Chains A and B, each alone.
Chain A
Amino acid sequence: MSVPFQDYYEILGVARGADAKEIKARYRKLARQYHPDLQTGDKKKEAEEKFKRINEAYEVLSDPEKRAKYDRLGANWRMGQDFEPPPDMGDVHFYTHAEGFPGGFSDFFETLFGGGGFAREGFTGRRRTRGPMPGEDRETEIALTLEEAYRGGEKTVQLAAGAVCSVCGGTGRARERFCAACGGTGVNRKETTLTIKIPPGVREGSRIRLRGQGGEGVAGGRRGDLYLTVRLAPHPTFALSGSDLETEVVLRPEQAALGDRVPVPTLDGEVFMKVPAGVHAGTRLRLKGKGWPDGAGRGDEYVKVIIDLPGPLSENEINLYRQLAALRTGSGGANR
């Protein structure tokens, strides 16, 4: 079985002849730059991957025995090239059937060092004396459109959540070495698809608790919970303010002057709203009970009046506006 070769010197950015002090200084510098616990948001996941590679390189190059074994092979391969483990060479043993740790150190490391010398069973035994440890609670956000939040229902989401590593218990180290199962990050990232039931009328910032969907427990400990914080996406038609919805309706000047019944959007579909005669631009008309669910009742919807011309006017319409303007001039001013 061939695995991609890892150039640990290249990963740490040190020369092949670098001494232990230089390697440690370089590791610390890279760890400061890529440590996942120093990152926020989306940068965390990317940093985790990088940090695992850095830890793996340091695990090998900081240990004289491992480094010597690695150096006997290193000169013949380049980063990423396929590495085929040769038959054992004297005191050098290769692990061709090593049980790897998906998501932790690379297959190359497993082949050379067989999982870093700490098998799952050994740690489980140690863990047993510590007793069960509950899984970590996780937090993430769920983005909903206004319609999804209003109506509720099911939504499928993909989560790439990090769970406390069950081998090192989240400390990143086991038996004074980096934990090969999580690459020293203390976290194992798993992609899960969940179908979540959204309750109707959920609001911005609401937290949905999903019991038992957090990190896995250790040694029989219960699973943690998953908390989803609701984020409402901006809507092209509505704005939500408390329990009230706000929207706009465009009226022609004669509709504003004479009043009308006009269609307006609501979250339940279009309704007809009575516009009183002589309404001014900017007036907010209320549609009672058409807002956001609020306890047993609902808020209101406020419709802001915009007055605008419908587009190019016909000759006839222009003439009528001229008559109107003349009338207005006669009564004391063109613009009043």
Chain B
Amino acid sequence: MKFTIKFHQHTFFPGEEVWLPVALTGISALTLQKMAETGCFEVRDGAVRAENLHDVLRVIRLRRHLGVNLAGAAVILAMLDRLEKLERENEQLRRRLGY
């Protein structure tokens, strides 16, 4: 399947912020509050920023599949972010050095 799509310039407009109610994912308000206390993401009136929804779902899956608690899941996310950043920097350096 091949189709052409419209190009839109780069980033969100300044001030454009989308907050999603986390109840959509079936998480209880108490769990969400506990998640917010780990500092992974900000919660306002039961909603998180759209870009944090992925992290919310990751925490839920890590808890259910691996049995890690919220604090453990928060540490895992932080470590993964660092790892991804390092891998990106490594890749950029490799590209710059041409190998």
Contact = CB atoms under 8 A, between A and B. Distances in A.
A213 B57 CA distance: 20
Most buried by A among B3, B54, B65: B65
Dominant SS among interface residues on chain A: mixed
A40 B20 contact: no
A201 B50 CA distance: 30
B66 to A, nearest CB: 6
B16 to A, nearest CB: 11
Nearest to A164: B57
Interface of B: 1-12, 18, 20-21, 23-26, 50-51, 53-54, 57-58, 60-62, 64-67, 76, 80, 83-84, 87, 92, 95-96, 98
A199 B7 contact: yes
A20 B61 CA distance: 21
Contacts of A170: 25, 53, 57, 60
A185 B64 CA distance: 11
A31 B10 contact: no
A22 interface: no
Given A154-B4, A170-B57, A193-B2, A208 B10 contact: yes
B3 A137 contact: no
A210 interface: yes
B3 A194 contact: yes
B48 to A, nearest CB: 12
A32 B2 CA distance: 38
Given A37-B58, A171-B57, A234-B96, A134 B65 contact: no
B61 A37 contact: yes
Contact of A40 (B24, B50, B54, B83): B83
Contact of B98 (A130, A164, A234): A234
21 contacts: A35-B62, A37-B58, A38-B80, A55-B65, A130-B23, A134-B18, A134-B20, A134-B50, A156-B2, A164-B57, A169-B25, A172-B64, A172-B65, A197-B6, A199-B9, A207-B11, A209-B9, A209-B12, A210-B7, A211-B6, A232-B95
Given A28-B67, A172-B65, A213-B5, 10 more contacts: A38-B80, A131-B24, A133-B24, A173-B64, A186-B61, A192-B1, A196-B7, A207-B11, A208-B8, A209-B8
A210 B10 contact: no
Interface size class of A (residues with CB under 8 A): 35 or more
Given A208-B7, A234-B96, A171 B60 contact: yes
A50 interface: no
Given A35-B65, A37-B61, A234-B96, A169 B26 contact: yes
B26 A171 contact: yes
A35 B66 contact: yes
B63 to A, nearest CB: 10
A76 interface: no
B59 to A, nearest CB: 9
